[in-house]
Structure 1
Amino acid sequence: MTSEFSASLTFSGMIARKHQFSLPLDYQNPDGEQISIFVREISSPENQDKALPFIVFFQGGPGFGAVRPAANGGWIKRALKEYRVLLLDQRGTGLSTPVSFASLAHLPASEQAEYLSHFRADNIIRDAETIRKQLTNDEKWTILGQSFGGFCVLKYLNDAPEGLAEAYITGGIPSLTRSADEVYQATYKRVQAKNQDFFNRFSDAQDLVKALASHIQDNEVFLATGERLTVEMLQLLGINIGMEQGPESVYYLLEQALIETATGTQVNPLFLAHFCQLLDFNTNPIFALLHESIYCQQSASNWAAHRVRQQYPEFNYQTDKPFLFTGEMVYPWMFEQFNNLKPLQQAAKKLAEKQDWPNLYQVDKLADNQVPVAAAIYSEDMFVEMQYSLETTAQVGKLKYWLTSEYEHNGIRMDGEHILDRLIAINRGEKLR
């Protein structure tokens, strides 16, 4: 079923309508528990009454709701010229039966893990395809995926290509066959390179971060969300140095981390508040719970990032060695240190040990893909190994790509209008502007 708000909402240069769908938690048991999936439809004022095709956006993550646009800009501005845009809150995020420690508190750990096992890309695509049939009278639509959203695009091409007219990917072409261990062996090297770039750019950053690390080792320092700040937590800020404008945000935060007071050196309350805003583990638990599972096919992750880290001891901070940030890796200790992850520790352990994750991709089927696909691959991307992305481009039929060093992982947020325009031109064989 779908229920739709009758009134349209007017934003700056956009008209929005809300759609809510009741869909199965488990598609193998369609009459069982139902969850709510929320989609926001965006159109331009001049096109709001036109029957334009849809383009569906798959957000990065996993575990984050779709973008909430405040104005007609970026990739949405380009898309609205010829589409109606659908912003899908993937199951468990945004307004789609959101997952949190509170929403799962009534379940024992084994049932929490079973519930969460239904929140990977396979079921996200089942949701989208069910919505397409209900919303469009079974017409084909176009899809766009950023980061983890690119994983969803490939899963859609694998599972339901008959529903697609075209597909676009930015910053997220996964390997079809490589394990989580292989992925992290590659990405730790990319994180090392980003650390080198960061500390070369900001010549006093190493001194600033080591002074802070020393202080929090010697003193109890508590974040605005109540956790004691640890060096391991501090290293997690590195997820931001792989983003456009992220290194600047981290540096400015470090620059004002320590202040002198009448009672001695203290951590600036501003730092303690802003630190929490740069990390999402307390507010978006699906990311920590399911991040490694996005690579799993008939195998367990067994805390792959944590195990592979032992091959890179330079990430284990020592006072007489350079400080290094980590990337988007998830570690078991996070479920001991972050307040909103602590209640999910046993569920996380069960998910890490789960061996029977369904296969995600069929290599032979994707080789015969007939849906036009255009992808942007960022050669300096900290989160996605370029060689693995290129490996996949050779395995998927009708996939054309644009390899560029112009952007970091979040390029679509910074220059989305140009990026989507170029990808549309590539897909359609048009002359690049």
Structure 2
Amino acid sequence: MKIDLILSGLVAQKHTFTLPLDYNKPDGDTIDVFVRELVAPDKQDQDLPYLVYFQGGPGFGAVRPMANGGWIKRALQEYRVLLLDQRGTGLSSPISAVSLAHLTANEQADYLTHFRADNIVRDAEAIRAQLSPFNTWSIIGQSFGGFCVLRYLTAAPEGLTQAFITGGLPSLTRTADEVYQKTYKRVQAKNNDFFSRFSDAQELVTALATHITEHDTYLATGEKLTVEMLQLLGVNLGMEEGPEAVYYLLEQALITTQKGTQVNPLFLAQFCQFLDYNTNPIFALLHESIYCQQQASDWAAHRVRADYAEFNYQAGQPFLFTGEMIYPWMFEQFNNLKPLQAAAQQLAKKQDWSDLYDLEVLKNNQVPVAAAIYSEDMYVEMQYSLETAARVNNLKYWLTSEFEHNGIRMDGDKVLSKLIDLNKGIILR
């Protein structure tokens, strides 16, 4: 094994694969797909099976490990781990307004249609054909990575030994509208919990909302801070330690100066680090499409919000954060999304998204699957996860309230160990 990186407790090798942009046109345009291979130092020469990690998102590169810890430490006891930068992310021909600037809006939209779970799985199988052509491998998906796992079980189960899903067992049939009807209710509950836990949080955020309404305020990245943007901080409320981070940010938002109350420059810099829309545009461009099969999303979160007027903040009313929702105005307010506004509109109106799941194949699935379902998950509706669990053969699940959506990040050793035990038939306690 060629070692490219030595970290505490593990060694790593970089792989880059040149693969088709469109698998229906194998001789057409290509993209690069990057994978980082990890192995324990004392197991470098062992013929270990692979475990491939599918990151959450969509639109985020795989985790960059600092040391051998968490779920990776547990996995390296018996696997070589492959951290896949899904196409368009990380080092895999990353997508941005800069990289797409040479294309027209129509061409941008067409290009972006090739970056859903179906092609992510095709990439994985193409990589397996090169790295492990005579062996199946195991896969693990966190959040959106779970969507990729179910697609893998549909499209290429012959390539799999087993699968693990954490916080990402999606509905197989529910529309984006149905998903957001449930999600807004989940976000309401997280808001209630947040403002109950932090007794002065409503006062802090209302004062900030009032200030930025009355005084033009600009973030460190150049955008004018709006109330709608401020509400987006709620995307963090469903993560372990997320509410605390949001509260501590709000605590520092306003400061008293000789010129009166002003927004703290520290807040204006840190705020940008809490949201990923400027840095990870696929998340905004393709998020709703992950629910689309033969129908358009048509800005589902924006339309469904009309049923939840309490999220439309007005002075004198309680402030509520929103959650993992994408809105059309984001492409008018975030600098790195503005050049992609026309493409985003076309993607929202696209009706012919291909089917992602074959219900009959999943009904007869023979690949062992173990899933962690978090009952308090703000991003993935528990009811829909349980519906899916009942429709996928050979799937066992662990339903728990112990963790939030990012359980694998908080105690990955425990989460992955339980899923490995599930697939081995060991009774959980």
Please classify the TM superposition score into its range, dividing by the shorter chain length: over 0.9
- In the alignment, which residue of structure 1 is the partner of 2:127? 131
Taking the TM superposition and a 5 Å limit, the aligned residue runs for 1:100-115 are 100-115=96-111
Q: Does 1:391 align with 2:410?
A: no
Aligned residue among 295, 299, 304 for 2:295: 299
How far apart in 1 are the matches of 2:228 and 2:259?
Answer: 27
- In the alignment, which residue of structure 1 is the partner of 2:52? 56
Q: Does 1:184 align with 2:180?
A: yes
Q: Does 1:402 align with 2:404?
A: no
Q: What do the CA deviations read for 1:80-105 (whole angstroms, capped 9, x no partner)?
A: 00000000000000000000000000
Give the gaps of 5 or more residues in structure 2: none
Q: TM-score with structure 2 length normalisation?
A: 0.99
Structure 1 residue identity aligned to 2:265: P
Taking the TM superposition and a 5 Å limit, the aligned residue runs for 1:143-158 are 143-158=139-154
Structure 2 residue identity aligned to 1:375: A
- In the alignment, which residue of structure 2 is the partner of 1:261? 257
Taking the TM superposition and a 5 Å limit, the aligned residue runs for 1:214-293 are 214-293=210-289
- In the alignment, which residue of structure 2 is the partner of 1:351? 347
Give the gaps of 5 or more residues in structure 1: none
Q: Does 1:80 align with 2:76?
A: yes
Aligned residue among 305, 310, 315 for 1:314: 310
How far apart in 2 are the matches of 1:325 and 1:8?
Answer: 43
Q: Does 1:91 align with 2:68?
A: no
Secondary structure at 1:310 match in 2: helix
Structure 1 residue identity aligned to 2:68: N
How far apart in 1 are the matches of 2:3 and 2:160?
Answer: 29
The percent of aligned pairs where both chains have the same amino acid is 73
Q: What do the CA deviations read for 1:14-54 (whole angstroms, capped 9, x no partner)?
A: 01000000000000001000000000000001111101000
Go from structure 1 to structure 2 and tell me whether the alpha carbon gap of 1:89 and 1:274 turns closer, same or farther (over 3 Å shift): same
Secondary structure at 1:394 match in 2: helix
How far apart in 1 are the matches of 2:312 and 2:426?
Answer: 50
Aligned residue among 181, 184, 202 for 2:198: 202
Secondary structure at 2:391 match in 1: coil
Structure 1 residue identity aligned to 2:397: Y
Structure 1 residue identity aligned to 2:230: L
The CA deviation at 1:402 is: 0.3
The CA deviation at 1:150 is: 0.2
Structure 1 residue identity aligned to 2:410: M
Structure 1 residue identity aligned to 2:73: K
The CA deviation at 1:9 is: 1.8
Q: What do the CA deviations read for 1:292-323 (whole angstroms, capped 9, x no partner)?
A: 00000000000000000000000000111100
How far apart in 1 are the matches of 2:71 and 2:190?
Answer: 26
Q: Does 1:140 align with 2:132?
A: no
Q: What do the CA deviations read for 1:325-354 (whole angstroms, capped 9, x no partner)?
A: 000100000000000000000000000000
How far apart in 1 are the matches of 2:329 and 2:205?
Answer: 21
Secondary structure at 2:158 match in 1: helix
How far apart in 2 are the matches of 1:379 and 1:141?
Answer: 29
How far apart in 2 are the matches of 1:241 and 1:6?
Answer: 41
How far apart in 1 are the matches of 2:2 and 2:409?
Answer: 31
How far apart in 1 are the matches of 2:242 and 2:198?
Answer: 13
Taking the TM superposition and a 5 Å limit, the aligned residue runs for 1:20-35 are 20-35=16-31
Aligned residue among 366, 372, 379 for 1:376: 372
Structure 1 segments of 4+ aligned residues over 3 angstroms from their partners = 5-8
Structure 2 residue identity aligned to 1:244: E
The CA deviation at 1:8 is: 3.4
